Homo-oligomer: A and B are copies of this chain.
Amino acid sequence: MLRFPSVGTDPAHAQDCRRAAQWLVRELEAMGFTAGLRETTGQPLVAGSYAPPGGGAGLPHILFYGHYDVQPADPLELWTSAPFEPQIRKGKSGKDAIFARGAADDKGQLMTFLEASRCWLKVHGALPFRLTVMIEGDEEGDASHLDCFLKANAKQFPVDAVFICDTGMWDEKTPAIDTRLRGCMGIEVTITGPRIDLHSGYYGGPARNPIKVLSRILADIHDARGRITIPRFYDGVKPIPAKLRKQWEALRFPAKRFLGEVGLSVPAGEKGYSVLEQMWARPTAEVNGIHGGYRGPGSKTVLPAEATAKLTFRLVEGQDPRKIRRAFKQFVKDRLPPDCKARFDDSGGDSSGIAVSQDTPWIVAARAALKAEFGREAVLTGAGYSIPAVESFKTHLGADSLLVGFGLADDNAHSPDEKYDVDSFRHGTRAWARIIAQFARE
């Protein structure tokens, strides 16, 4: 599977993507699944389905999700061995690993679940749930292909939960379950003032300056404690559960080192929250870009006709991106002085924050299984970013995702010499088998 250069975003590799997908179809068929390719607006999607003998009515219906597309391999000269000729050798940590583009992200990871299922079927004859396998080819590219597919075909997938193997361990000895993802709302605002750029020698003083107006608006978004002042912004945001705060505290996250690596030393976020909490469980307002007026060398005495800022708001569970979009627009309008207008570009998109309860049967099963496999409690982590597929499954199928993965920080996902430890593969496969076992016991 690692030999297919299935770079989903490169049209030159369209056939390689299709071949990788077909290979997966055959694997699923060999396991006794009904499987085939489903066409999407992007790369073909591998869809397989399994039902226990008798149909499994009454058993949970699980959807396993992964992706066969990989990042481009360049720069090729930085690879020790060719990216699509997998090689098992010792990595920097001294442990055996398989080196190839996609070894970790996501081919190796998704195979941990497929191998666990294959073994379970071989030994026990039947899985303890109904199973849909969905492996897409656009994860590294445009998330809208999967989203459209799910929206159009939601009724065909009445699933109870989604299992995903595309995340990492807390460290090489400690397993992790990602239970929180932040959403994201992107918006661009342009403040317009005078009809044309003006000469500051003539108009400097009486003429309204859109850069000043925009700066004031951006400065107003946060108060002195780093809280966002947009009215109703925090509507629906739940306090971080005390239990979770304690768990995260116990991780002793090296915030100093984390910030130090990028040249920072003092957390700049909301006061009263640790760095992990600021990243995993609190919403933000970030300015990603600003421009207006003259930016060439030297000085130009212009008063610009407009100024633009791009913002993204990272959102948490309970916040409605569309309401936040409206609230931000109102916040801007409330601050417009005479002669200024605001123009908005909404193409930045919306996704909601997600937090999964620690008490779902899937999390309970996964925690027990991971503890048994690794001899340590799984860390219930969060992530500051979005995983669009998780959002799509939630929106269109109404299903929460269980995010369990065995990647390590040194796997070089997206970089040259990507690898997946043989230990990750073995532990991962056994861990999924233990999760499956949790359902068999019920």
Contact = CB atoms under 8 A, between A and B. Distances in A.
Contacts of A236: none
A26 interface: no
A282 interface: yes
Nearest to A312: B301
B289 A202 contact: no
A200 B385 CA distance: 8
A39 to B, nearest CB: 26
A201 to B, nearest CB: 3
A265 interface: yes
A267 B339 CA distance: 9
Contact of A204 (B286, B294, B304): B286
A200 B268 contact: no
A269 B304 contact: no
B299 A188 contact: yes
A334 to B, nearest CB: 15
B279 A203 contact: yes
Contacts of A284: 200, 204-205
Nearest to A186: B299
Contacts of A386: 201
B287 A206 contact: no
Nearest to A210: B287
Contacts of A209: 268, 286-287
B268 A208 contact: yes
B289 A259 contact: no
A207 interface: yes
A35 to B, nearest CB: 33
A89 interface: no
Interface of A: 182, 184, 186, 188, 193-196, 198-209, 211-212, 214-216, 218-222, 255, 259, 262-270, 275, 278-279, 282, 284, 286-295, 298-304, 307-310, 312, 314, 337-339, 347-349, 383-386
Given A206-B268, A216-B218, 17 more contacts: A193-B264, A195-B264, A196-B262, A204-B286, A204-B314, A205-B269, A206-B264, A209-B286, A211-B290, A215-B290, A219-B220, A288-B303, A289-B295, A290-B292, A290-B307, A291-B295, A299-B349
